[in-house]
Structure 1
């Protein structure tokens, strides 16, 4: 259901699936109670067969005219659901929110102010406080803050928390629908190619971690997608800053004999050899892979150290 009227400054996009209803209420209320008021809240129901979801959204639609509801015909997943929200978003800025987190009341106000005053930035996130399934505080989570720190971390892992993202609604920014999980990692990287990124030091979100969330239930699949994105970032990084092309890197016999599933690291080792790094680097890297102890993330982290 859509609203007609003046375009809002911010569009908050949230997909709901099968999170506990109480979590959904906390998430929605935390947005409706923001100190910054000029927004629309787009709620996408990605579990249409769950009656509680439909009833909840209909109730909120009646009580607040800033709410826009979308009911999928069937479960299509987070990536496609978020894109449906982005397609109808009217705001000059997009704010992401998840149905199991709780936004601080000044979240939108501070992020809007930051981007308004800093035109070179395309997106900002923030530090978060981790909470458990019962809303209890667990610990704070600090992140890379400046654009350079975020870029450095991108080659290793996601340097921003997805539901804290607040970005300019430009360049037809959408999620890559071929990526089922880790879609935020891919989006953040593509945003970094269009402008600078920043994480506000103030924790603006209570970020829930529990055993019932997708990130835990689908961890192995999520890792696979993240590794594919990480490899693409590394390849782009090497080409952009060092003029190294995958197709032009010489082939070395021992690289062809790496255990199955670890060949993604070939680009890293070829790069090290190609640029005459110390032999002990190569020996340590290949030994680590041989005994199956080296992940793509660890490879990326080492790459970051040796190229600086």
Structure 2
């Protein structure tokens, strides 16, 4: 690795749409900032497509390396592997189907002007399957995804993730502190939580990429949930597991104590709602407004109505 290379672009590949991948590689090659390399990991051991030739064709003078796993790891573990392999001061995480704006790396890198900044990220334009821009902000099509900033950012982030992994650039040394990445939580929330607890997060004042929304997006909110029971099992209980795991890494950090209590009350209220727990949740509604309002009503919503509500949300994303 050349000493002048400061950033590793870490890309996870799994059975990609080749045309979309070509668009992404073209946009990466068009970056105004040039001191970076690309590390890609093909997570399908049975995939025989010649990605090396494709990357040579589109990245040209940009250093790259493609790794091939012997088994399917899943995106979290792939990004963990790439974080271990990256030796540059900064790492930028990358999906396989988006399109970067030319200034993405340059703008993100400049946000590290304060030595306490551990992670930089941005909003996104949204594109469809035909690469047509359908929104100038992810928050327009996912109104529950609010990009918080300022001194209260960490309060909102520890309650509910709003930072998307493919927009992130991070200090590699901070990302490595988060290893191993859990299999059951998206890597972006895990990494962002470490970044926030160990320093400061900066958000660009403009979108820096085109984010592709389509049927196969694995990060769609509530995508795997179809009933009240699944909401508890896959959304409320995992949050308690998430905050408990973070707490193990930051033992004694008093900032995490309120969230541990919040996680317990959410489960208790879902299983047996009381006025005391309802009052507790309402007082903390600013942490995650839409989540709190839904969960206060959830025990009283008939299951079939909740399933219809979920379906409507999923179709709109």
The TM-score by the shorter chain falls in which range?
0.7 to 0.9
TM-score, length of structure 1 as denominator length: 0.73
How many pairs align? 270
Q: Which moved more, 1:136-145 or 1:91-100?
A: 136-145
> What CA distance in whole angstroms lies between the structure 2 residues aligned with 1:264 and 1:109?
51
Structure (1 or 2) with the larger CA radius of gyration: 1
Aligned counterpart, 2:277:
269
1:61 and 1:264 map into 2 onto residues whose CA distance is 59
Structure 1 stretch displaced more, 166-175 or 223-232: 223-232
User: What residue number does 1:304 align with?
Assistant: none
Determine whether 1:93 maps to 2:90: yes
Measured against aligned partners, the alpha-carbon deviations of 1:201-223 in whole angstroms (never above 9, x if no partner) come to 11101011001222359822797
> What CA distance in whole angstroms lies between the structure 2 residues aligned with 1:272 and 1:18?
45
Q: Distance in 1 between matches of 2:202 and 2:61?
A: 31
| 8 Å CA contact retained: 1:160, 1:199 | no
Q: Which residue of 39, 60, 65 corresponds with 2:55?
A: 60
TM-score by length of 2: 0.71
Q: Which runs of 5+ in 2 are unaligned?
A: 140-145, 248-252, 284-292, 307-317
Shift of 1:30: 1.2
Give how far 1:28 is off. Answer: 1.8
Q: CA RMSD in A?
A: 3.9
Aligned to 2:133: 137
Q: Is the 8 A contact 1:125 1:164 kept in 2?
A: yes
User: Is 1:36–2:33 an aligned residue pair?
Assistant: yes
Match of 1:187 in 2: 191
Q: Offset at 1:265?
A: 8.7
Q: Is the CA contact 1:121–1:195 (under 8 Å) kept in the aligned structure 2?
A: yes
How has the CA–CA distance of structure 1 residues 49 and 194 changed in structure 2, closer, same or farther, with 3 Å as cutoff? same
- Counterpart mapping for 1:164-203 below 5 A: 164-171=167-174, 172-174=176-178, 176-203=180-207
Unaligned runs of 5+ in 1: 276-283, 296-308
Q: Distance in 1 between the 2:272 and 2:188 partners?
A: 21
Residue 233 of structure 1 deviates from its aligned partner by 4.2
